[in-house]
Amino acid sequence: MNTGEPFSPSKALMILPVLILLGLFFGSVIYLFSNAFTAGDGFSMKYFQQIIDRPDYIVVFIRTIIASVIVALLAVILSYPIALLLWRADKWRNMLLIIVLVPWLVSLVVRTYGWIVLLGTKGFINSMLIWIGVIEDPLSLMFNDLGVIIGLTHVLIPFAVISILSSLLQIENNLEEASRVLGAGPVQTFRYIVLPLSLPGAFTALIVIYLACIGAIVTPILLGGLSQKFVGSQIYQEVMYAFNMNKAAAWSICLLALSFLSLVILKKIERRVLRGQE
């Protein structure tokens, strides 16, 4: 490659798509900020004040955070066995990976409707449990926080599987054998060698899933309760039903701030846990 090539206009044209992309991205962010911080003609914190003044809105934030933490932990814990299985299955790994990823080929909305079929009052799970005789009255598995947690966990598990698997695949191939020769059984080898070395992948999954959850919209709308809103569904409502763009923008900026703060905290925790690992 010759790096000393003279400037040519046709080449300069090639950066145009990038410029358009960046322009749109920053343009929309600037527009968002201007919407949130202006009322009438000038600068105003009016919409933020409206959010802070409502205790039920604060509950929405807290609910979103707690549900997201639960989903992230649940997804990572449930993904570990799957990732380990894929790691072990040398020959079948790609095949099994496709099975893990197949749900992504189906639209998120369709998948979530699938959960409605399963979790509804007359849904599959309730019907089964009543038929077996475990319960007499249907459980409310849906249109509440539980429904959102189940739905989001299901949607996000493949992220965790891929992330943990990639960490496991980086483990040098006979570290386990070395551990066994030194006297460790399978459980100890997992505890002291495999688990610590796969933690970076688990942490990446935790962070990505948490961030995906606090901004989730579709699942909370379809599986969440009417009075138990999440930040995402709240913003959606402000835009689609209340047509209050300024308030929606203020909500969005709060969400952005929350994401950023969470990321800083999670990174701190990650560094502490993985301290000493390269």
Partner 1 sequence: MTNIRANSVSQIDDGTPSAQGSITIENVSKSYGETEVLSNVSLSIGSGSFVTLLGPSGCGKTTLLRLIAGFIEPSRGQISIDGQNVNGIPTQKRPIGMVFQNLALFPHFTVYENIAYGLKLRQISSKEIEFRVGQFIELVGLQGLGERRIAQLSGGQKQRVALARSLVLEPSILLLDEPLSALDLQLRKQLQFSLKDIQKVLKTTFVFVTHDQEEATLMSDQVVVMSAGEVQQIGSPQSIYERPETLFVSKFIGEVNELAGTVRTIKGDMLEIDTAIGLISLPKSTAHGLVAVEGAPCVVCLRPEKLMTLPTGSSAAAGRISFDGVVEDRLALGPMIRNTVRCKNLKLISLTMTGNDANSLHTGDHCSVQFDAENVQLFSPLTGDLALAFGERE
- Give me the residues that bind partner 1 (CB under 8 A), please: 172-175, 177-185, 188, 192-193, 196-197, 276-278
The amino acid sitting at 173 is N
Residue 263 CB, nearest approach to partner 1 (Å): 24
In degrees and rounded to multiples of 5, residue 248 shows phi and psi of -60, -40
Q: Which of 254, 256, 250, 277 is nearest to 47 (CA)?
A: 250
Q: Which is nearer to partner 1, 72 or 193 (CB)?
A: 193
3-class DSSP state for residue 186? helix
Residue 180, CB-side half-sphere exposure with 13 Å CA sphere: 7
Q: Which is nearer to partner 1, 130 or 171 (CB)?
A: 171
How far CA 21 is from CA of 10, 26, 252, in Å, comes to: 19, 9, 21
Residue 170 CB, nearest approach to partner 1 (Å): 10
Residue 178 CB, nearest approach to partner 1 (Å): 4
Q: Which is nearer to partner 1, 134 or 181 (CB)?
A: 181
Cα–Cα distance for residue pair 215/162, rounded to 1 Å: 21
Q: Which is nearer to partner 1, 49 or 174 (CB)?
A: 174
Residue 188 CB, nearest approach to partner 1 (Å): 6
Cα–Cα distance for residue pair 142/140, rounded to 1 Å: 6
